[in-house]
């Protein structure tokens, strides 16, 4: 009986266990189900946007469509910088193995890569080992060659088809900057990098307008990188860059560069030179050049001057600094002591303040030097100029006379006009990184500082600052802002924006300006600027010769000449500056003035600026000037007469010629318009 009861209890107990197990399993499933629902809810509602974006980025391919960089033209519509369509080739090394049947056979894959490296190196003139290294790279993308023109790309595509290369190689559209005239206006136009980003000059200043905005195409792709037809495909068209029209006239620029180069080379100028030509009524820069220059199509290659000066022996960092220095537009960026060209500012100040007049006889006296405090400041003419008027002092470029004039003006008034003429501010020209002047603080000016400042030494300005100030004198006393861009054309809308003349202020009266221009005319006709004469035109000017900076004597002298042309109804202001001349002379009137004359002789007729002498006709015949040194004046006169060249000399017939202007290697000098001067 007890056994039966025991078995019965065991059976009942065993029947309860399956029920408990089922209950536990059910609870486990419920918990699992809740966890799954929670995970789904978390992924859907909390992480949904992030996962959707990750999925999109993995399955959507975005291709950039490069905008075409705007073209740069000169004032006549001649192309100075243009972008052409090219291609850039990149590879995805991992996907190259899909071009062979047996992807797991490394020898087959390697053979294919070697064959591809051979084609790349031979067709695009690349280093084989470097290309092969890129094809075996673990990076996702490697650039093989950039900015390749169409013919080679077509040839490579044909090779790919023949060799059944279908994946791992990308040929993308790109653009490349070209400069049809190589070195022309190189320091002004500036450099454009390989990514079509402006790095210097106009290319940098107007980069945001020139580069435009890139477009793109977004397309759905499969794991195997194949395009999936998708109604969500998006195309955003690129906005091409605007075109820039410069105020620069390429013909005037070419003339200015030609004679600047000749002047630098003839006078062995250790630090080169620069020249600026401006229309004083509008502020338009017609030419701006620095020499030595560089080839815009090879901006990272040193010019010949740098190579001659030991560029190849420099360290990499020194080479980089040299390249950046080569790009500098020194006419706008660098400062120098203007020397006697600054005397036109001193004279203008005195006339405007009625401190003196142009022709007060004997107002100034020069015995060859001027004592200022404990310092004796010498005149260029050690014998002295005696008693002079302001006009005569300007003609003679007499330092003692201008020291005396500076003392009459006084520090406060002088600084008022230095500020009014714009020397304490940047000019506002539309070029990057403009330099500015370095003057003493007004409260620190003593007798010596006032004296040296009155004739243009012991302070520095940029050439552009002097041209802007001189242009105000040439423009009846009205100052305008210089600029190098004439108009901007939006290629998408067709709209054109013209850059209007920006009148800043009246610096001096028209009466004072006319008096200054008349005195500057006499500097050329009677004074130290006679080498700047141009047949048929009245030219005004001022010579400049600044002594070496005591802190940097190795920089040498600075010779310059500032000119206005014609004096009546002035259309041009030109400043030519030569740094560190090491030839037979370092005086601006001797070496810079002749180059200015040569430039104006060609530029004035080209611009159809009427001659003051209607009876004067300039012959178009040209002749090479021979080497006339080491001959007697009698022999030289005979030679020049036979060539039909006018000449002038102060030497007697039996003296030996030691120098001439222009030099014998200056060719294309116009017949009956050459001036040969002997020492």
For residues 229-254, give the mean pLDDT.
83
| Residue 662 preceded by cis peptide, ω within 30 | yes
pTM strictly above 0.85: no
Compute the distance between CA of residue 256 and CA of residue 113 in angstroms, rounded to an integer. 54
The pLDDT, as a whole number, for residue 453 is 96
Least confident of 116-125, 196-205, 366-375, 382-391: 116-125
- Highest average pLDDT, of 40-44, 114-118, 172-176, 665-669, comes from 114-118
> Could you list the active site residues?
340
At 141, the pLDDT band (50, 70, 90 cuts) reads: confident
Per residue in 272-286, pLDDT (tens digit) is 999 999 999 999 999
At 14, the pLDDT band (50, 70, 90 cuts) reads: low
Domain spans of the chain, in order of start: 1-39, 62-246, 275-607, 617-679
Which residue has better confidence, 130 or 172? 130
For residues 235-242, give the mean pLDDT.
81
Q: Three-state DSSP class for 310? A: coil
The pLDDT, as a whole number, for residue 88 is 86
Which residue has better confidence, 667 or 590? 590
Compute the distance between CA of residue 409 and CA of residue 631 in angstroms, rounded to an integer. 50
Query: If 0-12 CB within 10 Å is exposed, 13-18 middle and 19+ buried, where does residue 25 land?
Result: exposed
The pLDDT, as a whole number, for residue 615 is 44
At 165, the pLDDT band (50, 70, 90 cuts) reads: confident
Least confident of 544-553, 630-639, 645-654: 645-654
List, in order, residues 6 or more apart from 311 with CB less than 8 Å away.
302, 319, 322
Q: Look up tokens 């080992």; give the residue.
A: 129
pLDDT at residue 619 greater than cutoff 60: no
Compute the distance between CA of residue 582 and CA of residue 591 in angstroms, rounded to an integer. 11
Share of the chain above pLDDT 70, in %: 85
Q: Report whether CATH 3.90.1310.10 matches the domain 62-246.
A: yes
Compute the distance between CA of residue 67 and CA of residue 445 in angstroms, rounded to an integer. 55
pLDDT at residue 306 greater than cutoff 60: yes
At 194, the pLDDT band (50, 70, 90 cuts) reads: confident
At 623, the pLDDT band (50, 70, 90 cuts) reads: low
Which fold would CATH assign to domain 275-607? Beta-lactamase (3.40.710)
Q: Report whether CATH 3.40.190 matches the domain 617-679.
A: no
Category of 408 on φ-ψ map: left (φ > 0), alpha (ψ -120 to 50) or beta? alpha
Query: If 0-12 CB within 10 Å is exposed, 13-18 middle and 19+ buried, where does residue 346 land?
Result: buried
Compute the distance between CA of residue 600 and CA of residue 576 in angstroms, rounded to an integer. 12
């Amino acid at each position: 009986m007890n056994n039966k009861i025991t078995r019965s209890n065991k059976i009942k107990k065993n029947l309860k266990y399956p029920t408990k197990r089922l209950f536990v399993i059910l609870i486990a499933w419920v918990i699992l189900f809740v966890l799954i629902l929670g995970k789904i809810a978390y992924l859907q509602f909390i992480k949904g946007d992030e996962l959707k974006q990750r999925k999109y980025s993995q399955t959507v391919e975005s291709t950039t469509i490069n905008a075409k960089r705007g073209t740069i033209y000169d004032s006549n519509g001649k192309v100075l910088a243009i972008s052409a369509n090219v291609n850039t080739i990149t590879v995805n090394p991992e996907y190259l193995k899909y071009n062979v049947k047996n992807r797991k056979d490394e020898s087959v894959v390697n053979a294919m890569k070697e064959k591809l490296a051979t084609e790349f190196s031979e067709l695009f003139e690349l280093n084989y080992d470097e290309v092969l290294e890129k094809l075996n790279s673990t990076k996702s993308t490697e650039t093989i060659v950039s900015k390749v023109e169409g013919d080679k790309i077509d040839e490579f595509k044909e090779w790919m088809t023949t060799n059944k290369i279908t994946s791992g190689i990308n040929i993308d559209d790109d653009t490349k900057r070209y400069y049809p005239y190589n070195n022309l206006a190189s320091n002004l136009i500036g450099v454009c990098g390989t990514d079509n980003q402006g790095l210097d000059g106009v290319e940098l200043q107007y980069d945001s307008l020139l580069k435009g905005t890139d477009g793109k195409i977004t397309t759905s792709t499969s794991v195997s990188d194949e395009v999936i037809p998708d109604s969500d495909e998006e195309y955003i068209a690129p906005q091409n860059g605007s075109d820039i029209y410069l105020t620069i006239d390429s013909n005037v620029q070419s003339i200015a560069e030609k004679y600047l180069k000749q002047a630098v080379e003839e006078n062995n100028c250790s630090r080169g030179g620069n020249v600026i030509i401006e229309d004083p009524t509008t502020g338009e820069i017609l030419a701006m050049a620095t020499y030595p220059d560089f080839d815009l199509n090879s901006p990272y290659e040193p010019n010949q001057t740098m190579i001659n000066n030991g560029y190849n022996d420099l360290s990499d960092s020194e080479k980089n600094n040299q390249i950046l220095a080569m790009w500098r537009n020194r006419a706008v960026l660098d400062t120098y002591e203007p020397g006697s060209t600054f005397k036109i500012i001193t004279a203008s100040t005195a006339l405007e303040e009625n401190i003196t007049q142009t022709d007060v006889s004997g107002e100034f006296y020069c015995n060859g030097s001027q004592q200022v405090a404990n310092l004796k400041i010498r005149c260029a003419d050690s014998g002295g100029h005696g008693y002079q008027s302001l006009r005569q002092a300007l003609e003679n470029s007499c330092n003692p006379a201008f020291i005396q004039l500076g003392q009459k003006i006084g520090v406060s008034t002088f600084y008022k006009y230095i500020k009014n003429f714009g020397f304490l501010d940047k000019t506002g020209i539309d070029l990057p990184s403009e330099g500015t002047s370095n003057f003493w603080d007004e409260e620190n000016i003593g007798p010596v500082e006032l004296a040296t400042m009155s004739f243009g030494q012991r302070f520095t300005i940029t050439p552009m600052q002097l041209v802007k100030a001189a242009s105000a004198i040439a423009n009846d006393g009205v100052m305008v802002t210089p600029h190098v861009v004439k108009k901007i054309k939006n290629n998408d809308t067709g709209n054109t924006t013209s850059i209007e003349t920006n009148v800043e202020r009246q610096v001096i009266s028209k009466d004072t300006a006319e008096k200054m221009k008349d005195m500057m005319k006499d500097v050329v006709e009677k004074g130290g600027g006679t080498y700047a004469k141009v047949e048929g035109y009245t030219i005004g000017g001022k010579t400049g010769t600044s002594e070496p900076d005591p802190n940097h004597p190795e920089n040498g002298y600075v010779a310059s000449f500032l000119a206005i042309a014609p004096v009546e109804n002035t259309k041009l202001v030109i400043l030519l500056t030569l740094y560190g001349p090491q030839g037979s002379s370092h005086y601006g009137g001797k070496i810079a003035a002749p180059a200015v004359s040569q430039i104006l002789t060609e530029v004035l007729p080209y611009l159809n600026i009427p001659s003051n002498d209607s009876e004067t006709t300039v012959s178009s015949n040209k002749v090479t000037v021979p080497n006339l040194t080491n001959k007697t004046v009698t022999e030289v006169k005979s030679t020049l007469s036979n060539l039909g060249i006018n000449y002038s000399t102060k030497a007697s017939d039996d003296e030996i010629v030691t120098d001439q202007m222009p030099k014998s290697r200056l060719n294309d000098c116009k017949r009956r318009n050459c001036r040969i001067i002997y020492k």
